[in-house]
Amino acid sequence: MRKAGRPLAALALILGLTALILRALGRTWRCKCGRPVPWSWQIWSAHNSQHLLDPYSFSHVQHGLVFYAVLYLLLRRWRPSSRFSLAMALEAAWEVLENTPMIIQRYREATISLDYFGDSILNSLSDILACAGGFGLAAVLPAWSSALMFVVVEAVMLITIRDSLVINIIMLIAPLDAIKNWQMHGGQIP
């Protein structure tokens, strides 16, 4: 029973440290709007990345799916609980990096997130938990199901918000004007 609690204890520690670091970076705990709504589905508003859930929560589930696969392949001899803890530490590191001035500015310059000003702490912690959910799903589902889930989430995000994990990575690393134009103009040629 004690071993079963280790991944949860590690997750709690990671969440706590992440919250402290984000607060030290000046992040707010929750949306400044004062409305206690648990989610916002508008990516073009000041509420994006400020509430418990938003459309990008699904991309964090995808992070968990990918972390499970990659860590299983690279660290197969590690206990699943150790791979889980490493995945959560990686996700937390991304949440901290994502909320640094350098990455916030990169989002504003290269992606459709022109008014992005960082995540609330609540949103970042929720993103880490979404990643944990994706990791957990990948641990119990057949590999083909996890791969299919990744593709379905990508497709749904592309259709509904014109953004996705893959598009986000492309736009952060090597932005393409064609993608940005498609995203901003609803598929219309400007």
pTM comes to 0.91
Instruction: Report how far apart, in Å, the C-alpha atoms of 162 and of each of 19, 44, 79, 181 are.
Output: 30, 11, 38, 11
The burial class, CB within 10 Å (0-12 / 13-18 / 19+), for 83 is: buried
Cβ pair 55, 43 in contact under 8 A: yes
pLDDT value, residue 1:
47
Give the separation between CA 86 and CA 82, rounded to whole angstroms: 6
pLDDT tens-digit profile of 22-71?
Answer: 999 999 888 777 776 776 767 666 666 766 688 889 999 999 999 999 99
Helix axes 80-98 and 2-24, enclosed angle (nearest 10): 10
Show me where the domains of the chain are located: 2-18+43-184
154: closest CA among 83, 46, 55? 55
